[in-house]
Each structure stands twice: as structure tokens, then as C-alpha cells.
Amino acid sequence: MSVKTSLAFVLALAGALSPARALAQACCAAPSLVIPSRLQRHESYGVGLQLRGRGVFGAFGADGAYAGASDGDVETAQELFASARILSRAQVALLVPFIETRRRAMGLSETGGGLGDVRVAGHVELTRAGERAYVPGFSLLLGASLPTGTAPDQSALLLASDATGTGAWEGSVGLEVDQRFESIFVTVAGAVAQRLPRDAGGIHQSFAPRLLAIASGGVVLQHDLAVGAFVSALHQGAARDAA
């Protein structure tokens, strides 16, 4: 049997043994506080790609007043993420972002980018929705951000458009509550995140905790398609710097 014939036989056998249909949860139908991925009970692993884009054309000052800018930043990101179930009620996830920024200021224009801060997460199911009547699912959320990106003070470009990270380690812990009513699903989650101190330009920076919250809901259509929406909130306290 030739190599080509053997390869064709292996591929045909794999196709025959593979399931004819695969169902998966859309990542954005139930977003996470840390990584936009969560496996269903019957899933062992999953991978995905998230694309983001944003424009910054102003900022709010300490007094709450908004100040617009004639120039602005345009940022795009491609985030590759993967999840794997390691126990029947526990799963881990990884997100690797690549960020590009185009910045204009003082008559200058600059484009830079690179690898951002890699994030890891854990999701532990304490209870599952549907196991007991009227008892929702409760899950423990664990997360960490690694300073693999370029911090603004480590930038090599004039306008720091190559800055892709915070330069600090960060950990988070939270709780997620989810419930399903036939084809309707609802999820609410909250977490506290803490960034570790770091030195930048001779300044020792200490950071206040961050509070994060997210609520999502939607409906599953014919077991193939989910339509939903979510709202999120974030509160960051003032940093504490010391020379």
C-alpha cells in the first residue's frame, strides 16, 4: 500500500468515526470576566479567536468633565483562547492577545504593537443549574494576568504605540451564578482583582483593587444558535505612587 493510499485510508477512517454533528456554546453568548470561553458539561476542550477594535477620542478628568481630543488612538486586537476540562467540574483556560495601536499626537503619527499580557483562568463548578429544583449553578472563578506585554515605560517608540501590557502581575477571584429556564439562560458574575506593585522610571507603583461585574442573558434557538446580550461594569481605585 502506497503512502498516499495509506493516508487516504486513515483520513477516511477518521471521518467515519467522527460524529456527524458537533454542537458548541458560542463564546459571546455567556461572556466571562477573565476569558471569553466556558465549556459545557459534555465538552472536553475548545478553541476560539476573538477580534476587538476601539477608538479613543477623549478622556474624563478627575472632576468628571470630558475633554475631547482632535487626535486619537485606534487599537485592534486578536485574542486566541483555548479551554480544557481537567476534572468533571473544573476547567482551565488560556488567552494570548496580539495588540496593534495607531497613535497620533502633536502632529506625529505612529503604529506599533506586539504580544499583550497573557491571561490564564480556572472555573470550578460548586453546584450545577438543574441539579436541584430552584437552585442555580454556583462557580468559583480564578484568574491571573502575566506581564508578557510591553509596559508603557518600557516602550521603544516616541508615542509608546508599541505598549501592549501593564507591566504587572495581577490575580483575581470571583463568583458566578447561572440559571436556565428551558431555552432562556441568565448569568451574573462578580470578581475582585489585585495588581502587584511594580517599579517604573524610579517610581514605586502600588495599585488599588479592581471590582468587576458582568450580567448576561439570552435564548437558545433550536439547539444550534444562541442570541444574547451582556452588560459589564468596572471600578478601579486610585493608584499609590512613591519615589
pLDDT tens, position by position, 120-168 = 999 999 998 878 878 899 999 999 999 999 998 899 998 889 999 999 9
Give the lowest-confidence range in 67-71, 80-84, 202-206.
67-71
Q: What length does the chain have?
A: 243
d(CA 120, CA 143): 6
Query: Which grid cell is 138?
Result: 454556583
Give the lowest-confidence range in 12-21, 91-100, 175-184.
12-21
Identify whether the C-beta of residue 194 lies closer than 8 Å to the C-beta of residue 166.
Answer: no
d(CA 115, CA 77): 10
DSSP bridge pairs for 94: 82, 120
Report percent pLDDT > 90 for the chain: 45
Does 30 score more than 50 pLDDT?
no
d(CA 203, CA 158): 20
Query: Which grid cell is 34?
Result: 477573565
Query: Which grid cell is 78?
Result: 486578536
Predicted local confidence at residue 7, as pLDDT: 45
Does 206 score more than 50 pLDDT?
yes
Q: Could you give the 3-state DSSP secondary structure of residue 26?
A: coil
Tell me the chain's radius of gyration from C-alpha atoms.
22
Give the lowest-confidence range in 4-13, 32-41, 44-53.
4-13
d(CA 102, CA 238): 27
d(CA 159, CA 216): 37
Does 96 score more than 90 pLDDT?
yes
d(CA 229, CA 216): 6
pLDDT tier for residue 105 given thresholds of 50, 70 and 90: confident
14-24 residue pLDDT tens: 444 444 444 44
Does 229 score more than 90 pLDDT?
no
Identify whether the C-beta of residue 68 lies closer than 8 Å to the C-beta of residue 47.
Answer: no
Identify whether the C-beta of residue 19 lies closer than 8 Å to the C-beta of residue 9.
Answer: no
d(CA 65, CA 72): 18
Report percent pLDDT > 70 for the chain: 80
Does 193 score more than 50 pLDDT?
yes
CA nearest neighbour of 82 among 133, 41, 44: 44
Does 60 score more than 70 pLDDT?
no
Q: Could you give the 3-state DSSP secondary structure of residue 16?
A: helix
Mean pLDDT of the residues in the chain: 82
Predicted local confidence at residue 72, as pLDDT: 73
With a CB cutoff of 8 Å and minimum separation 6, the contacts of 220 are 183, 184, 185, 226
pLDDT tier for residue 25 given thresholds of 50, 70 and 90: very low
Please tell me which residue, 170 or 54, carries the higher pLDDT value.
170
